[in-house]
Amino acid sequence: MSKKKEEELLKLVSEEEIPVHVAVIMDGNGRWAKNRGWPRIAGHKAGMDTLREIISCADEIGIKVMTFFAFSTENWKRPSWEVKYLMKLPEEYLQKELNTLMEKNVVIKAIGDLSRLPRRTLKAVNDALHNTKDNTGLVINFALNYGGRAEIVDAVRQISQKVAAGKLEPDDIDAQVLADHLYTGDIPDPDLLIRPSGELRISNFLLWQMAYTELWFTRILWPDFNREHFLRAIMDYQRRERRFGGIKK
């Protein structure tokens, strides 16, 4: 996209209606590579370049939180060579980008069952969490070995343990108590979900949190998704009426 085109789009984005939290399912990497006769890992590598571009754009327009679905609990079913490469991507990305993210005051977070991650991957993630914990800018939240149903089960288990220990009364359990025990307990629910690749489902991603999230789908594959597509998704979000079950005043 030309600089002039980008400037024109930025003028159309309302500064007063920027979504606080945008979630993204980074989908279509394998198909993107297959369409070019390349190995699937080439698509994942290209997808990392898109990630860098979208994070930069989100930071520029004032989004507060971005959650990226990087690896699901179901992705372990993929061929072992692909899983091995996918597990290396967080390490590679964080090693290359951490200094830039620090300069931009970005906070790195991660959700999911991180205990199953390979040692080197887990170390890279933990180092990034530690090094950026005092930053105050854009929060980048990576969902790694994440599943929405597993997250809810974990939350219910924690609450049950507190009830059994006498630390919580059953009558005190409400939607807020459950939300507080989710992996995302310290960040707001997503305002907007973006899913490239033409798939029209949320694939076990942030099931509880997306009760009132606006959904935006596109056939563009993730490696081809760029700043223009991202800005158009934001503008489309800004044209919608969010009533949360009520009536617009």
Domains of the chain, first to last: 18-147+189-239 (3.40.1180.10)
Kindly state the percentage of the chain with pLDDT values over 70.
94
75 is catalytic: yes
pLDDT at 2: 67
Catalytic residue among 35, 75, 99, 226: 75
99 is catalytic: no
Quick check: 150 and 113 in contact, CB under 8 A?
A: yes
pLDDT at 247: 66
- The CB density around residue 95, as the number of other CB atoms within 10 Å, is 12
pLDDT at 13: 83
| Below-70 pLDDT ranges, the chain | 1-4, 11, 244-249
pLDDT at 242: 77
- The DSSP string of 22-78 is EEEE---HHHHHHHTT--HHHHHHHHHHHHHHHHHHHHHHT--EEEEEEEEGGGGGS
Catalytic residue among 27, 59, 189, 191: 27
Quick check: 23 and 217 in contact, CB under 8 A?
A: no
pLDDT at 224: 98
- pTM listed for this prediction: 0.93
pLDDT at 204: 97
Give exposure, 203-220, as e/b (b: 16+ Cβ within 10 Å): ebbbebbbeebbebbbeb
Q: What is the pLDDT of residues 163-217, one digit of tens each?
A: 999 999 999 999 999 999 999 999 999 999 999 999 999 999 999 999 999 999 9
Quick check: 28 and 223 in contact, CB under 8 A?
A: yes
